[in-house]
Amino acid sequence: MKADIHPNYQEVSITCSCGNSFKTRSAAGKPEMHIEVCSECHPFYTGKQKIVDTAGRVERFRQKYGNVQRG
């Protein structure tokens, strides 16, 4: 590896808007970072995610392509 071309990683304290905080390493240059969503409060990770079907798009897709048999 070449010397002096890689970023300087340092320990960073991350604080989420939900109150969760953890430490990681980053090259951002800031000792503290504030984020809006983390794995403790994001609906995908908590299992509370719901599929929102806007204007019946999922149902129209299923009607159009749902009965297609692949051979």
The total of other beta-carbon atoms located within 10 Å of residue 22's CB is 12
Q: Is the pTM of this model over 0.75?
A: no
pLDDT the model gives residue 11: 94
Are 29 and 12 a contacting pair, CB within 8 Å? no
Question: Is residue 71 pLDDT above 60, yes or no?
Answer: no
pLDDT for position 52: 67
3-state class of 35 per DSSP?
Answer: strand
Is 24 part of any known ligand binding site?
no
Residue 16 labeled ligand binder: yes
Is 58 annotated as ligand-binding? no
CATH classification of the domain holding 54: 4.10.80.400
Report yes or no on 49 lying in a domain.
yes
Domain that holds residue 36: 10-66
User: Tens digits of per-residue pLDDT, 42-64?
Assistant: 777 677 766 666 667 777 888 88
**pLDDT per position as a tens digit, 9-19:** 899 999 998 89
Residue 18 known to bind ligand: yes
